[in-house]
A and B are shown apart, each in its own frame.
Chain A
Amino acid sequence: MKPVVYLTILGLLAIAAAMLAEQPDSDRLPIYDVGHLKPVDSQLKVKVGDKAPDFTLRAVKGGEVSLKDFRGKKNVVISFVPAAFTPVCSAQWPGYNLVKDIFDQHDAVLLGITVDNVASLYAWTQEMGGMWFDVLSDFYPHGQSASKYGVLRSDGTAERALFVIDKNGVVRYIDVHDINERPPLEDLVSALDEVTK
């Protein structure tokens, strides 16, 4: 090879090193762009005032978590999101990670549920810095819990949906949101205010 080639390589490597040092990108998630999806693709099976269907799911932290564990003890917010490593989902739970105090003030726990398996959920949530709340896998039988609530989409993912369940196990708030958008924090806080007033 001619010297000009070596010089080119060296020069480009130096530029690359400078650019990468200037724009650290290691903490960005590899996000799969799903494009614009049908806003809602399921039929709800519960309504406000109903007894919330119970479920028992594997938790990323280990063991299992059942909805009935919180009966008489805590209000429960269930956040279904479609799937790990997808755009809006990856920009929803990190926000809830920031507002643990809001859940505490309302004597509420948050359960985050997707239809991914535990290993995928572990990798995803670790990439996002870990979550203070329980992250549950509705992987097998696939989407069984999402189906009980009527938020399992035809492609096997879950809706972007929020349920607030009071200490008596009664559904008090439902927001099956446009899957392409994020539910405003204001709406969830208002729903929690209603439950605790």
Chain B
Amino acid sequence: MTNHGINSNDGLRNARCGASAVRHSFVICLLFFTMLVRSGECASPPPTSTPADNRLPAPQTESERKYLGLSSTVERFSLDNVQADILVLDFFDMYCHVCQNRARHMNEFYQLVQSRGLSGRVRVLGVGVGDTPKEVAVFKEKFGLPFPVFPDRTGSFSRQFGKIRVPNVIVFKRRLGHFEVVYQESSLPDNPEQFLAKVLSYATTKISLPAQETAKCIDNGTSKRCPIVLSGQGDINGKRKLNPSEQERHEASK
């Protein structure tokens, strides 16, 4: 497709005016972004038709419940129940060799958060996408994950954030009593120092909601997970895509 674009514009190569230079730049941009499209994809979790579910089973151990700020009677919880300012969700799959190779990076990040005295603000959770309870237990044991991990056999929890390709990390910031996505990366950071700086940077970046949309969300009592636009920094697109449930709420609020 890119070659076609170049060949079909025979005058481009000989152009000498400013306008042709702009066309050159445009073609180069097209080539560039074509190069950036990534063909490789880690093996996907099993497909299912289960609807999205924003809750996870509460941890079995008291120490993990305490880490998340959950009472001993809670059976299932949503992310909004976690006592923290910033959440870092590590999406993995026990069967994914890339996830296995990179498991230690999230361990290092967790240890760094602890050593910096940030554990009260930043909590780390692991989600085994497509994994059963035994499979996440194996992954936790083999790689000595010190943070709580949860099975998401049907992928219903992960699906609320769109199509998750593992490994994947999502950073959330608490805002108006709810956690909202401020950063997502389909990889795992290999430098914990840089990643922590990035997490803190994104978490302190002002999240600007267009005034009109804010009003609509609040008017409809759906302030939870309203569409957000990252100011300054953001994902590759600069604006996060809405996941299906957000899209529904957004459409309903119109």
Contact = CB atoms under 8 A, between A and B. Distances in A.
Interface of A: 1-2, 4-5, 8-9, 12, 16, 19, 22-25, 27-31, 33, 36, 87-95, 97-99, 128-129, 180-182, 184-186, 189
B28 A12 contact: yes
A2 B18 contact: yes
Most A CB within 10 A of own CB, among B95, B96, B142 = B95
B21 A28 contact: no
B24 A1 contact: yes
A159 to B, nearest CB: 15
B94 A95 contact: yes
Contacts of A8: 24-25, 28-29
Interface stretch (B40-48, B59-67, B118-126, B239-247): B40-48
Given A2-B24, A8-B25, A12-B32, A31 B47 contact: no
Contact of A98 (B94, B133, B185): B94
B95 A181 contact: no
22 contacts: A1-B21, A1-B24, A5-B24, A8-B25, A8-B29, A19-B236, A24-B187, A27-B97, A87-B43, A93-B95, A94-B97, A95-B94, A95-B135, A98-B100, A98-B139, A129-B101, A180-B47, A181-B47, A182-B46, A185-B134, A186-B133, A186-B134
Interface in B37-88: 38-47
Contacts of A33: 41
A112 to B, nearest CB: 13
A9 B190 contact: no
A136 to B, nearest CB: 20
Contact of B42 (A29, A95, A98, A180): A29
B169 to A, nearest CB: 11
A43 B187 CA distance: 40
A25 B47 contact: no
Interface of B: 18, 21-22, 24-25, 28-29, 32, 35-36, 38-47, 93-98, 100-101, 130, 132-135, 138-139, 142, 153, 185-187, 190, 236
Nearest to B189: A22
Given A2-B24, A88-B43, A180-B47, A185 B29 contact: no
Contacts of A99: 138
B138 A98 contact: yes
Given A2-B21, A181-B46, A185-B138, A27 B98 contact: yes
Nearest to B188: A24
Nearest to B39: A30
Which 9 pairs of residues, A with B, have the shortest CB-CB distance? Answer: A91-B43, A95-B95, A2-B21, A28-B40, A94-B97, A181-B46, A90-B43, A91-B95, A8-B25
Given A27-B101, A91-B96, A185-B134, A9 B43 contact: no
Given A5-B21, A12-B29, A98-B94, A25 B40 contact: yes
A94 B96 contact: yes
Contacts of B45: 91
B42 A184 contact: no
Contact of B40 (A2, A4, A29, A89): A29
Contacts of B43: 29, 31, 87-91
Contacts of A90: 43
B100 A94 contact: yes
